[in-house]
């Protein structure tokens, strides 16, 4: 691949469609949220969507977390997926930077029946994270502003329980991390630094999955 020929698709579109057709369908609540988001919201591509959402759901069901942290909730689609395996007495902390999405997220949480177990924080995650005290998280999902990914990672790893899972979205960045000098943008530079940091961090084991735009999965040792 030429250095300036960044990827439109990590997986061949036909293979991706086949995979989605052979994945259990999303719930009616999530399906309606998906359709509404694509009709009404700016940047609907920010939605986790059916395929990745089902993976988040499966991870949560396998992990059965007591405490979940999400950075970047958008309309709450991924929040609902992550909640599927949550312990009945467990909690979710969501951080969303855009205050315009607050009412939408709250409505999503209500419809999904998880509002009473969810604390929604609106604002800058770098300021909010230090205020969340007395909790170690079993499951964390980062899908937010890419320029702060490395900061989020360094802050969150100490907040993870032993064997806690950290999932980080968009780590392939349309293939730009393969040729960061050609990409020439700050987001690519930070994502490349993050991937390299995770790979050499003795505190975690990791696997980079080619799901959608790349999903880094880390287990704290």
CATH of the domain at 141: 3.40.50.150
pLDDT of 64 reads 98
Residue 159 CA to residue 30 CA, distance in Å, equals: 29
Instruction: Count the domains in the chain.
Output: 1
Q: Which of 3-7, 12-16, 185-189, 214-218 is the least confident region?
A: 3-7
Three-point CA angle 153, 217, 212, nearest 5°: 105
Exposed, middle or buried by CB within 10 Å (0-12, 13-18, 19+), for 45?
A: exposed
Q: Cα–Cα distance between 121 and 73 in angstroms, integer?
A: 10
Reported as a single tens digit per residue, the pLDDT across 43-71 is 898 899 999 999 999 999 999 999 999 99
pLDDT tens for residues 98-127? Answer: 999 999 999 999 999 999 999 999 999 999
Residue 104 belongs to some domain of the structure: yes
Q: In this structure, is residue 8 part of a structural domain?
A: no
User: pLDDT tier at 5 (50, 70, 90 boundaries)?
Assistant: low
With cut-offs at 50, 70 and 90, classify the pLDDT of residue 203.
Answer: very high
Instruction: Check residue 29 and give its pLDDT.
Output: 93
**Model confidence band, residue 1 (pLDDT cutoffs 50, 70, 90):** very low
Q: In 45-85, where do the E strands start and end?
A: 67-71
Residue 82, domain member (yes or no): yes
Average pLDDT over residues 86-91: 96
Under DSSP, is residue 127 helix (H, G, I), strand (E, B) or coil? Answer: helix
Check residue 4 and give its pLDDT.
52
Range of the domain at 114: 13-220
Which letter does DSSP use for residue 89 in this model? T
Cα separations in angstroms, 205 against 35, 65, 162, 173, 201: 36, 19, 12, 21, 8
Would you say residue 115 lies in a domain?
yes
The reply to whether 161 falls in a domain is yes
């Amino acid at each position: 691949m030429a250095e300036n020929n960044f990827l439109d698709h990590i997986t061949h579109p036909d293979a991706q469609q086949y995979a989605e057709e052979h994945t259990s369908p999303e719930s009616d609540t999530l399906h309606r949220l998906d359709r509404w988001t694509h009709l009404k919201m700016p940047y609907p591509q920010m939605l986790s969507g059916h395929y990745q959402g089902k993976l988040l759901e499966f991870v949560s069901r396998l992990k059965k977390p007591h405490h979940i942290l999400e950075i970047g909730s958008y309309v709450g689609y991924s929040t609902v997926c992550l909640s599927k395996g949550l312990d009945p007495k467990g909690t979710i902390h969501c951080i969303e930077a855009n205050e315009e999405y607050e009412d939408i997220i709250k409505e999503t949480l209500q419809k999904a029946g998880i509002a009473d177990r969810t604390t929604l924080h609106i604002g800058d995650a770098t300021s909010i994270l230090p205020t969340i005290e007395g909790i170690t998280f079993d499951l964390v999902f980062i899908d937010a502003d890419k320029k702060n990914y490395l900061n989020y990672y360094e802050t969150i790893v100490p907040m993870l329980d032993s064997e806690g899972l950290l999932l980080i979205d968009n780590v392939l960045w349309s293939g730009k991390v393969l040729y960061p000098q050609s990409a020439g943008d700050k987001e690519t530079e930070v994502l490349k630094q993050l991937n390299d940091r995770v790979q050499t961090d003795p505190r975690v084991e990791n696997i980079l999955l080619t799901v959608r735009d790349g999903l880094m999965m880390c287990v704290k040792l």
